[in-house]
Structure 1
Amino acid sequence: MLCLVVAVSDGDTLTARCNQRGAYAQPVKVRIAAIDAPESRQAFGSRARLNLLKLCAGRTATIQPHETDRYGRTVASVRCGNTDVATAQVRAGLAWVYTPYAKQHPQLVPLQREARASKVGLWSQARPLAPWDYRRRYQRR
């Protein structure tokens, strides 16, 4: 599906208008498959969002939907131009590989190992906190 990226919420979520019958339809919220970026208030959260903005904002994206998550977002593989967004975020040390959903993206695990060994991005921290642990710890009840 060919889409125009109109907004970036955080390091792993964007909003796009996808081409249907020659016109762009209503905006669709897209969660990038197989990664989990730091939350906005978490260390490297702003940098992850800025990197995704640089990669995709205002650009044409190819979106391959996989499923709809419990929040109604389309979970999809996303390419902005010639760049696979999940690969770019992991390589830059700005997202974790979300292993339960990474089967369709086997290249991500070795890229995360390389980023971690090179202490790139969030891996420069002594003890980086995974976003799922951050949400569990700081989620408002």
Structure 2
Amino acid sequence: MHKLLAIFLIAAYSLFAGRLMGVVVSVADGDTVRVMDVNRKQHRVRLYGIDTPEIDQEFGRIARNALSKLVFSKNVVVDYEEKDQYGRIVGKLYVNGTYVNLVMVKAGYAWHYVRYAENEHDLAEAEEQARKLRLGIWVQDNPMPPWEFRRKKR
């Protein structure tokens, strides 16, 4: 039994091998924040597995404000595995044990970003529920996903 538990813990740890703890000092948009650690070093963090409307897109500022209310000036924990092409930490953000990425999807402010988090079934279920309840972005009949919005702007 102990061997099985040890294997599980190692596997879980390997999924998100890094941990950042600090205070959110700014919110760039609905899925990107800046966290200052105890050494006063600032880290840009991209929320894993979700994508929110761009700032200049419909619901973009609303999504940013929703994230800000959840995390700004609060102590957070970020579990992460990697950095993205822009040097941002890509991770799961927690405030008082609450998984913020999931909260954003449940409230209808974010899409489950299947391209990068295909196996995050909790995010998929949260998006489906938000769609059914027509929460946030889902009050629109056919909201444009941010990845399409970005592609059209190029």
1:115 pairs with 2:130? yes
How far apart, in 2, do the equivalents of 1:103 and 1:134 lie? 21
Structure 2's unaligned 5+ residue stretches are: 1-19
| Greater than 4 Å deviation, 4+ residue runs | none
TM-fit CA distance, 1:85: 1.0
TM-score using structure 1 length = 0.91
Structure 1 alignment gaps of length 5 or more: none
Q: TM-score, normalised by structure 2?
A: 0.84
Q: Which has the higher helix share?
A: 2
Q: 1:55 deviation in Å?
A: 0.4
1:1-141 correspondence to structure 2 within 5 Å: 1-19=20-38, 24-103=39-118, 105-139=120-154
Q: Is the 8 A contact 1:59 1:81 kept in 2?
A: no
* Distance in structure 1 (CA, Å) of the matches to 2:45 and 2:120: 17
Q: Secondary structure at the match of 1:107?
A: helix
Q: For 1:48, give the aligned amino acid.
A: A
CA RMSD of aligned residues (A): 1.2
Q: Distance in 2 between matches of 1:118 and 1:69?
A: 32
**CA contact under 8 A between 1:10 and 1:45: conserved in structure 2?**
yes
Contact residue 90 and residue 96 of structure 1 kept, 8 A:
yes
Q: Distance in 1 between matches of 2:144 and 2:51?
A: 12
Query: Going by fraction, where is strand more abundant, 1 or 2?
Result: 1
* Larger radius of gyration between Structure 1 and Structure 2: 2
2:117 is aligned with what amino acid? A
CA distance in 2, matches of 1:106, 1:127: 22
Q: Secondary structure at the match of 1:70?
A: coil
With 97-106 and 64-73 compared, the bigger mean Cα shift is at 97-106
